[in-house]
Amino acid sequence: MIDSFGYAVKQAKVEFTPLEFKRRDLRPSDVLIDIMYCGICHSDIHKVKNEWGNTVYPLVPGHEIIGRVVSVGSSVKKFKAGDIAGVGVMVDSCGKCEYCKAGEENCCRNGFVGTYNYDEPYIGGRTYGGYSKNIVAPEKFTFRIAPNADLAATAPLLCAGVTTYVPLKRWKVGKGTKVGIVGLGGLGHMGVKLAHSFGAHVVVLTSSENKIKDAMRLGANEVLLWKNKNELEKHKVSFNFILDTVSAPHDVNQLLGLLDVGGAIVVVGIPSTPHSIDAGMLIGGHKILAGSGIGGTKETQEMLDYCAKNGIKSDIELIPITKLKEAYDRTEKSDVKYRFVIDMSSLKK
């Protein structure tokens, strides 16, 4: 067994304390990574506070992981000691169903194994995430990172990047497409950058006037203050696609009114309370309301390669691990531009 150490919560409150635990010994297909950087995702906060009702404590969060390979199993071909590698939201799946075979493990018929707060399939107990010294993951769920990448700013791509990349690609967003990005946070700012890079006309929908300048800097063509009824009226029935990244309760029916005939809203943010949908808003205009969650290993590596080639990275604030509570508080207040990333060299026993 491999010694590890991290920061954990032991009850449903933002109160982190040190935790020593074990990672499994390397199997032939495994990679051992010393963690250098780990992003803070809003889902970490939901899990810490048990807002989705499925948290098992103690919990070590973190699934936006970048680090250096320490050693590899005997059958590993993609990595060697010294390489830079990433781990995202998943660390395993059944490997046998049609989705796993297609590289869409996030849709695994038997359920994928999450990087934290899931049953550890080989040694029992729970999986522990990236707020820690190291991690063991199968080669298939470990990603190549461009050697010249800004590593700290690449970490959030393992969740925020792929979560926004996948629906934009699947709905063929590009030139001639009017795209709305709802919310300008960790997910939203990546949605703006990616949609802009695909050639779309990008409109950021936000409730904060102080985000207008930043939205334009990130690649938006326009900004819509979506609580202003006059501005909503100007954009009524005009969007081909809307990416809803907001994790706070909000009115999706307002967004449905902005869609053109046959347009789609794809939800990637998960509020703590369910949306209420007016079926009439969907039926009129043959509108689509869909969801999308992360991506499989194939799409994740494709996204990482695309971002490296096109110079796309997350806007981050780098913090020591001792500032976790402050970072969580600020994230909930949308007071971050636009993703906190933990410098894991600050991890001390």
**pLDDT tens sequence across 78-137:** 999 999 999 999 999 999 999 999 999 999 999 999 999 999 999 999 999 999 999 999
**Is the residue at 300 inside a domain?**
no
Same domain for 177 and 135, yes or no, is: no
pLDDT in tens, 296-318: 999 999 999 999 999 999 999 99
CA 252/CA 267 separation, integer angstroms? 9
Same domain for 31 and 145, yes or no, is: yes
pTM of the model: 0.93
For the chain, the first-to-last Cα distance in angstroms comes to: 19
Given a contact cutoff of 8 angstroms between Cβ atoms, the answer to whether 193 and 179 are in contact is no
Smallest Cα–Cα separation from 81: which of 26, 141, 38, 5?
26
Q: Is the pLDDT of residue 349 over 80?
A: no
**Is the residue at 59 inside a domain?**
yes
CA 137/CA 149 separation, integer angstroms? 22
Q: Is the pLDDT of residue 272 over 80?
A: no
Same domain for 8 and 150, yes or no, is: yes
- Mean pLDDT value of segment 230-253: 88
* Residue 251 confidence (pLDDT): 85
% pLDDT > 70, the chain: 100
Given a contact cutoff of 8 angstroms between Cβ atoms, the answer to whether 119 and 108 are in contact is no
Given a contact cutoff of 8 angstroms between Cβ atoms, the answer to whether 57 and 11 are in contact is yes
Q: What CATH number does the domain containing 192 carry?
A: 3.40.50.720
Taking all residues of the chain, what is their mean pLDDT, rounded to a whole number?
A: 94
- Mean pLDDT value of segment 255-279: 88
pLDDT in tens, 155-179: 999 999 999 999 999 999 999 999 9
Smallest Cα–Cα separation from 38: which of 155, 127, 148, 162?
155
- Mean pLDDT value of segment 21-43: 97
Same domain for 10 and 140, yes or no, is: yes
Given a contact cutoff of 8 angstroms between Cβ atoms, the answer to whether 105 and 112 are in contact is yes
pLDDT level of residue 247 (50, 70, 90 thresholds):
confident
- Domain extent for 49: 2-159+315-346
* Residue 233 burial (10 A CB sphere; 0-12, 13-18, 19+): exposed
Smallest Cα–Cα separation from 168: which of 313, 277, 42, 268?
268
**Is the residue at 246 inside a domain?**
yes
* Residue 282 confidence (pLDDT): 85
Same domain for 15 and 145, yes or no, is: yes
- Mean pLDDT value of segment 278-283: 85
**Is the residue at 309 inside a domain?**
no
Q: What CATH number does the domain containing 144 carry?
A: 3.90.180.10
Same domain for 114 and 212, yes or no, is: no
Q: Which residue has the tokens 């307002």?
A: 254
CA 59/CA 280 separation, integer angstroms? 42
Instruction: Give me the number of domains the chain comprises.
Output: 2
